[in-house]
Amino acid sequence: MINLVLFGPPGAGKGTQADVLKEKYQLVHISTGDVFRYNIKNQTELGVSAKGFIDKGQLVPDEVTIKMLKAKVEETPEAKGFIFDGFPRTENQADALAELLESKGTTVNAMVALEVDDEVLVKRLLERGKTSGRKDDANEAVIRNRIKVYYDETAILKQYYKKQDKYYGIDGVGSVEEITERISQVIDKL
């Protein structure tokens, strides 16, 4: 199995790259954002809880996130591997993911982090907000808070995966194809 943690601040291009990589490597893409939106749209108990945090640009608590992701992993027991997009965001979540994968006889192979300048991120998200319908993409103050939260609370995972020799920083600026090629060079060596 190939299990990737696709990492980067909001607007770095994780979803775009995950869509390409899941086809290329026949992996299951688990986007925390998509899982949240599904649960919110269907007004599940976990979704209602998550919505209150997301609307404020805050991180959803670990317990809620982990329950959602575990259910998603268990939906596809025949998977050749997973791309985790937007998860984990904390060391506690990373430990929970390691435990979940270990229970399936596998592990995280690599954290691939898309690195993009903050001003590029703000521009990308404001542009996406014009068509996405997502409130958190339409307000520059909320966007900047999301980026700040990423650096304050989640960039710590860079060290977590570096200690395991699983961290790979990738330049997240360029064409979709150029970025995919950079990521593929990492995956093909795993």
> Annotated catalytic sites, by residue?
14, 89, 128, 134, 146
- Half-sphere exposure (Cβ direction) of 8: Cα atoms closer than 13 Å: 28
**Residue 29: enclosing H or E segment and its boundaries?**
strand 28-31
C-alpha dist (Å) from residue 188 to 2, 24, 73, 124, 128: 10, 11, 23, 29, 31
